[in-house]
Structure 1
Amino acid sequence: MTARSVLVGDVSGWWEASLRAVWCPGEVAEGVGGVVIVRWVTGFLDSPSREAEPFWEAVTGWSLSSRRAGGRFATLVPGRGDACLRVQVVGEGPARAHLDLHVDDIGAAAERVMGLGADAVADLGDVLVLRSPAGIVFCLVSWQGERVRPAGGDSVVDQLCLDVPAAVYEPEVEFWSAVTGWPVRATDLPEFSYLQRPAGMGLRLLLQRVGGAAAGVHVDFACTDVDAEVARHVGCGAEVVRRVPGDWTTLRDPLGREYCVTGRRPLST
């Protein structure tokens, strides 16, 4: 039995309803085993409405593409480089984020990723929805040639932070390193580690040890001046949640989705 053949039925909740509406099923070649080569990473902003989309256009400085899939799906297009952030209207549930891994062969990648401990959520034809051992939902999609990191200025969408409950943090870090093939690197703060992305990759993956029981994903900006960048975001409609002087500030977008502005320099490795 292949990984694709078990990704059927037994799917419930907002993921099935929203993703089936957004993605058009198609035939994708199956494969077996092997190493997953992650060609690109995309962050997705999943929202119950379009209300926050003008906000994300403003804070990223990127333009919203024409809509697809009946108006539910669009891409934030940078002025230079390949897109790494998209929006979709899910119709229910709170505003949140997830990540897509772009690969050459979805079937072969699914076989490998499920062998590492991921669970099947849904097979939508040209997208496979999976869940990591800690409960982080992610998708496997076909690589479309993305290879150029978006250009940065005073700020840029820099990384996706995977929020992982402390009790399962170490095995989850190992899982994501094995899935991507990217080595784990320590940071100055013990609650964080990151995966060293290849040169040119649009988004870095940061993993954060959190005290709660629920795993999730949020977007991080890098910038040259945290205070000035936070003020800009607040002027666009964000709300400050928490400040960590010298490191980062957590904010909420107009739909209540949390994200961070960090002191990492734009276009850091």
Structure 2
Amino acid sequence: MTVRWVTGFLDSPSRAAEPFWVAVTGWSLSARRGGGVFATLVPAAGDACLRVQVVGDGPARSHLDLHVDDIGEAAVRVVGLGAVEVADHGDVRVLRSPAGIVFCLVPWRGERVRPSGGVSVVDQLCLDVPAVAYEREVGFWSAVTGWAVRATDLPEFSYLQRPAGMGVRLLLQRVGGEVAGVHVDFACSDVDAEMARHVEAGASVVRRVPGEWTTLRDPVGREYCVTGRAPFSS
């Protein structure tokens, strides 16, 4: 099994936040499909790595899709590593990681070029993992992707070394509480300026870590972060 591409999904009760995400990413919204349920945020350069979905219930949340060559083979592999299969829709398999993070296996359509351009970029999908499950979850995602685990200078974070050209990096964060989840991180060269741009577009500030990152909420209450990582870094 080879993970060819990773896509983040913004799952919302309605389309209310979609104009906000178009504004802050600078990407355009594709034609809708699946009876109006799905659309893709299309960058001016590179392959798409962020999509929107109307799920009809709350709260607003995020999940990730792993793009693979053979969905059936990949499903057997990830279940063997500890995932639980939730649903089989033929060309989409829905699963949960050992800590409860929802993800999908979907067909690879040739994506291979990281989006580029602009003052910021969707850079990471952060997997928020309760402390009690953290070590197992890090091992699970490394085994699923085949990507090496790398430490950071903060003990509550580690990341997986993505291949060259991969659109988003996977960051894992040790959190309190009992519920695992996923959120989107932007990289930018000026966190304060980027934060102000997002607030002007309709976000609200949740918390700030000066010089590092700011956590915000989009117009439907979904948390995400703006970080000081250099855009387009590895």
- Tell me the equivalent position of 2:110: 145
Moved over 6 A (4+): none
- Tell me the equivalent position of 1:57: 22
- Rounded to whole Å, the distance in 2 between the matches of 1:211 and 1:97 is 19
Residue 215 of structure 1 deviates from its aligned partner by 0.1
- Rounded to whole Å, the distance in 2 between the matches of 1:107 and 1:40 is 17
Residue 212 of structure 1 deviates from its aligned partner by 1.1
SS of alignment partner, residue 100 of structure 2: coil
Q: How many residues align?
A: 234
Superposition TM-score, scaled by structure 1 size: 0.87
- Percent identity reads 83
Residue 93 of structure 1 deviates from its aligned partner by 2.0
- Tell me the equivalent position of 1:232: 197
- Tell me the equivalent position of 1:114: 79
Residue 153 of structure 1 deviates from its aligned partner by 2.5
SS of alignment partner, residue 113 of structure 1: helix
Contact 1:152 1:266 in 2 (8 A): no
- Rounded to whole Å, the distance in 2 between the matches of 1:137 and 1:104 is 20
Counterpart selection for 1:161 from 126, 139, 163: 126
Counterpart selection for 1:45 from 4, 7, 10: 10
Superposition TM-score, scaled by structure 2 size: 0.99
Greater Rg over alpha carbons, structure: 1
Q: Quick check: 1:214 aligned with 2:179? A: yes
- Rounded to whole Å, the distance in 1 between the matches of 2:28 and 2:162 is 25
- Tell me the equivalent position of 1:88: 53
Deviations 1:22-61 (A, max 9, x none): xxxxxxxxxxxxxx20000000000000000000000000
Q: Quick check: 1:189 aligned with 2:189? A: no
Unaligned ranges ≥5, structure 1 = 1-35
Q: Quick check: 1:104 aligned with 2:69? A: yes
Residue 152 of structure 1 deviates from its aligned partner by 3.3
More strand by share: 2
What amino acid is the match of 1:58?
A: A
- Rounded to whole Å, the distance in 1 between the matches of 2:18 and 2:85 is 30
Deviations 1:185-229 (A, max 9, x none): 000000000000000000000000000100000000000100000
Deviations 1:127-180 (A, max 9, x none): 000000000000000000000000033100000000000001001000000000
- Rounded to whole Å, the distance in 2 between the matches of 1:172 and 1:250 is 23
- Rounded to whole Å, the distance in 1 between the matches of 2:35 and 2:222 is 24
SS of alignment partner, residue 67 of structure 2: strand
Contact 1:192 1:207 in 2 (8 A): yes
What amino acid is the match of 1:134?
A: A
> Root-mean-square deviation (CA), in Å?
0.5
Contact 1:225 1:263 in 2 (8 A): yes
- Tell me the equivalent position of 1:198: 163
SS of alignment partner, residue 192 of structure 2: helix
Counterpart selection for 2:138 from 166, 173, 198: 173
What amino acid is the match of 1:148?
A: V
What amino acid is the match of 1:207?
A: L
Residue 125 of structure 1 deviates from its aligned partner by 1.0
